[in-house]
Every structure is written in structure tokens, then in C-alpha cells.
Amino acid sequence: MSDSSEDFAALFEASIKAKRFEKGQTIEGRIVAIGPEVAFVDVGGKGEATIEVEELKDADGDIDVAVGDRIQAMVVSTSGGLTLSRRLARGAATDRQLEDAFRAGLPVEGKVERAVKGGFEVRIGRARAFCPISQMDTPRAPSVPHEGHVYEFRIIEYKDEGRNLVVSRRALIEERDKERAAEVRRSIVAGAVVTGRVASVRDFGVFVDLGGGVQGLLHVSEIGWSRVDDPSQMFTPGDEITVKVLNVDEQKQKISLGLKQLTDDPWMTAAERYAVGQVHQARVTRVAEFGAFVELEPGVEALAHASTFPPTGRSDAWTKQVPPGSTAAFEILSIDPVKKRIGVALVPEGSTRAAGAIRSQAEIVPGARLSGKIERHEKFGVFVFLGPGRTGLIPLSETGVAKDADVARALPVGADVDVIVLEVDPTGRRIRLSAKAVADAKEAAEVREYSERADAAPAEGFGSLADKLRGALKR
């Protein structure tokens, strides 16, 4: 045999030895095909191994690898071909395999036999291992009994030739959650509709687990078109919920979710259902310093401003007319669908929509005589409440009160007052009134009535009375 032939034979034999695998050895290969039950792995050269498809599935039963991916696995059999495993079966794990699994970071199967001080005793093959309580599960996981369950663990300490083993189930759970979280985050984009489970409920909103430990916040303002005061009345941890992704902040790792966005905004068609002058039954949802909010329908709130209530002399007396939770009739004064604002006024019990409309529109014209309530005092005059959304001004010169007199005492806030309309601008917002004109009109009427009575009396009667007066003066 020539030297070249001997060299070729030596190289061939060396290549065969290099590709000789032993049971328990950890190797790396590339997946070339995935069948119904097994997958084929290229381990180099012409070598090919098999691995059960079940070992390639994640916690949800989905295959977590694809053709072309590289995996690390352990040789569990060389008989009739190479058989690989990504985890060690608890009954087949030898000391050497456990050491290899520790060095390669491969998971091993173990059975939780009993609880001991500070953790659990786990049986892995012929070895006993210790799993600390903190390493049995993730911090947010619910508390459940573990004795008798078979789990996968990672060996985190290997001492005394395998006689002292410490394992962690939490490390595997967090690693898989991290992998799944990366996959979940790729699918979570603004506008996407996703399904998750309620993780926790707070006063300010609901945290939703979207998978892989990825959580988003459903803020209380995004739950429904109508106001939500207590989210715990609507959600319970563990509930499945479908939400819409509103915003994703990659830098802060924050995901904002919405629920009301999955239904139509009632404000989009509010102008079709409501008009100025209509009267609707509405529920008072809350009361603020400046007015009361009322719900015309779920998602459509209106404001009854404090200025639309008749003055009583006390700044907060109007709140007693609209306690939260009560239902009453309200007249629509204004609508702005773009700004989502509707102004309303409380309609007194027994009033009708037509009567309210006449009072607020037809009667307020120059020369009309009206009744109102003193609302407030200013240096230049007195404001009078005439009706919901209609306030007029009596200039000081038209109050009928002497210059050196106390106007506030003569016309106290909340007192009834009769006025005559002097001027009304085209918008109907500036109304000039006069209380003095009412007094002048009353005086003129009394003079006219007296004159009519004097003209009707007999002349001699009046003359006789005059004569008697002159005679008395002479005496």
C-alpha cells in the first residue's frame, strides 16, 4: 500500500472515531425534518439522530423549534442509531448524565416526594435533590401543593460527585416565560386585538397577562364609555378578557390596553339623538363644585352647571336637588359633539318641556315683565336668575334703591324680584333688566286708578269735602 493510501485510511478511521457518540454525551445538532412523532437531527458529517417531537413542545403543547434550528440534547441511546433527549427521564438518569446535564444546563425530570425545612425533597433517578421554596415556582404564582408532582428542574448545584444536588424549577419557568415573552411582544403592536387573563385588579385599572408574563394595563378610563368607579365589580383575577392594544412603550416596557374601543363611541351619533330643548330622564353620577354630571345614556354625560340652578342665598344649596344616584328630568341647553359636551338644566317637578321652552325663549323680550331670583351682587349692578341658562343684569341705577342705601340688604341673594326687560342682545346672552321700572309702572297704575275713581265721583261730593276743609282751616 502506498503512503498516500495509508494516509487516507488513517484520516477515514479518525473521522469515524471523531463521530463516535457515547450515551450521556451532550451534543449539538441542526433539525433537518420534523415528523408526526420524531424529528431528525443532523449531528455532523453523515451522522443523523432522532428526538421525540414531544420533547420539542412548549408548555402549551406547541412545537417551539423549526427546521434549520440548532438544539442541544443528550445522547440517551446508541443502539440502532442515535436517540437524543432535551430532558432526562427521572428513571433513566445516571450520575454521569446528571453531571452532564448540570454542565450543559439541560433540564431533568424529578418527582417531588415531600416538603422539608426550607424547601422540597426531589427524587431524580437514584439521586435525591433539594429544591428551595423560592426555586419551586415564580413569585406571582398561586400557592398550590407540589408533593407527588413530576416536574422538570435545572441542576444549579452539583457537589460531592452528585451526592449533593440543588435544583430549580423556577429557573426553567422564567427562561421559558422569557422566550415566550419575546414572541408575545413581537405580536403586540398598537391596534392589535389580543386575548389575555386578568392578573390583578387595582383602583386605577386592571393588569392583564397577555402570555409569557407580559402584562398590560387596562386603565379605569379605558374600560367603558361610561364612568367606572370600581373595577373590582367588573373583573376578577383569572377572567379571560379580549382587549385592544392602544400603545406600546418599548423603552419603558409598558403596554396600554383598552376595552371600550371594541365598541362604538356613543358620542359619534349623539347629535342624532339629542337636540336643544329636549327633556330627558337622566341619572346623577357625581357632583362637583361647579355643577352636577348626569348620564343621559351609557357613555354620554352632560353637565348641569351650578349657574343653571335657582339661587337660594347659599352657594352649595343647589346640590341638595341633585344627590348622586338620583334620577330627574333635565332640559338640554347646548350640544357640542366635537368636544363631547352637553349642557343641561334641571326641570322642576311638574314642569313640561313646552313650558320650559316658552319661559326660556319667548318671554325674554324687551318690555316683558318677569319674575326671578337675586343671584349675586357686583359693583355695577345685581344679577338675576331668570331660568336655566338665562341670567340678566339690573344696573344700580335701575334697582330703585337709593344711592346711600345698602343694595345687598334691600335685594338679598335668593330673594324673589319682579323685573322688566329693557334690552336683549341678538344672542340672548346679555339681558338688561329694571326693578325700578316695575315700581314706576306700579305707581303709574295706582295714579291712573285713582284718577279714574276721582273722575267718576259726583262733583258736588268733592266740592262739599273741599268746602269742609276750607272751613276747618279758617277755624
How do residues 273-329 score in pLDDT, each as one tens digit? 888 888 888 888 888 888 899 988 878 889 988 888 877 667 677 888 888 888 888
Mean pLDDT along residues 13-19: 44
DSSP 126: T
Percent of the chain with pLDDT over 70: 82
**Across 261-265, 292-296, 358-362, least confident range:** 358-362
Alpha-carbon distance 91 to 78, whole Å?
18
Burial of 325 (0-12, 13-18, 19+ CB in 10 A): exposed
Q: Is residue 378 pLDDT above 60, yes or no?
A: yes
Mean pLDDT along residues 350-371: 58
- The CATH classification number of 196-262 equals 2.40.50.140
Mean pLDDT of the residues in the chain: 79
**How far is C-alpha 215 from the geometric centre of its chain's CA atoms?**
15
Please tell me the chain's helix, strand, coil percentages from 3-state DSSP, rounded to the nearest 5.
30, 40, 35
Q: Is residue 100 pLDDT above 50, yes or no?
A: yes
Q: Give residue 131's pLDDT.
A: 94
Mean pLDDT along residues 47-75: 82
More confident residue, 133 or 372: 133
CATH 2.40.50.140 residue spans of the chain: 24-85, 95-174, 196-262, 272-358, 364-441
User: Which of 72-76, 105-109, 142-146, 200-204 has the highest mean predicted lDDT (pLDDT)?
Assistant: 200-204
Q: Is residue 34 pLDDT above 50, yes or no?
A: yes
Q: Is residue 200 pLDDT above 80, yes or no?
A: yes
Q: Give residue 219's pLDDT.
A: 92
pLDDT bin (cut points 50, 70, 90) of residue 12 is: very low
Q: Do the Cβ atoms of 372 and 385 come closer than 8 Å?
A: yes
Q: Which residues contact 373 (CB under 8 A, 6 or more apart)?
A: 310, 311, 312, 384, 385, 414, 415, 416, 417
Q: Cell 424549577 maps to which residue?
A: 169
Percent of the chain with pLDDT over 90: 9
Q: Give residue 274's pLDDT.
A: 86
pLDDT bin (cut points 50, 70, 90) of residue 93 is: low
Q: Give residue 120's pLDDT.
A: 93
Q: Give residue 46's pLDDT.
A: 64
Sign of CA dihedral 132, 138, 139, 144: negative
The backbone torsions φ and ψ at residue 449, rounded to the nearest 5 degrees and listed phi first, read -65, -40
pLDDT bin (cut points 50, 70, 90) of residue 389 is: low
- The CATH classification number of 95-174 equals 2.40.50.140
* Closest-CA residue to 73 (of 131, 35, 23, 8): 23
CATH class held by domain 24-85: mainly beta
Counting DSSP H helices and E strands in the chain, the numbers are: 8, 25
Alpha-carbon distance 53 to 214, whole Å?
27
More confident residue, 285 or 349: 285
Q: Give residue 351's pLDDT.
A: 53
Q: Give residue 313's pLDDT.
A: 67
- The CATH classification number of 364-441 equals 2.40.50.140
Q: Give residue 132's pLDDT.
A: 93
Kindly report, residue by residue over 411-468, the tens digit of the pLDDT.
Answer: 888 788 888 888 888 766 688 899 888 888 877 777 777 766 655 555 444 445 455 5
Q: Give residue 9's pLDDT.
A: 44
CATH class held by domain 272-358: mainly beta
Q: Give residue 21's pLDDT.
A: 77
- DSSP E strand stretches across 189-336: 193-202, 205-211, 214-219, 240-249, 254-258, 279-288, 291-297, 300-305, 327-336
* Closest-CA residue to 284 (of 315, 333, 319): 319
Q: Give residue 442's pLDDT.
A: 79
Residues 98-134, buried b or exposed e (16+ Cβ, 10 A)?
bebbbeeebbbbbebeeeeeebbbbbbbebebbbeee
Q: Give residue 271's pLDDT.
A: 83
Identify the H or E element spanning 100: helix 95-104
Neighbours of 158 (CB within 10 A): 19
